[in-house]
Amino acid sequence: MLTIYHNPRCRKSREALQELESKNIPHTVVKYLEQPLGVAELKELLQKLEKQPQDIIRKQEPLWKENFKGETFSETALLQLLSEHPKLIERPIIASKNDAVIGRPLENLLAFLKKI
């Protein structure tokens, strides 16, 4: 079963969810803005993505640009920041038991689905 970390207001996230539904792929939806991920959950997700915290930050997000751009953060501090401000997390993220992908663009998700 897949998990999609979903923001219903995001067009790309809605497209990814629609793709899973159209292919009848079993999945769980986590509305991560309503249910923010803890630091441990973020670490696990980053391991599956094979990425660092800075790799999943939405750097064009006004919250980032106005409050955090240009600052230096440790990995621990970035994880805490993403946990406290889930709006900064790139979306959507689709995860299986052992792997994950940022589903933007949709082609990333399509390639991921072929692998699982």
Q: Give catalytic residue positions.
A: 10
For 18-105, strand residue ranges (E) read 27-30, 93-95, 100-102
For the chain, strand residue ranges (E) read 2-5, 27-30, 93-95, 100-102
Residues 6+ apart with CB under 8 A from 62: none
Helix (H) or strand (E) holding 62: helix 62-67
If you search the block for the tokens 């670490």, which residue do you land on?
A: 43
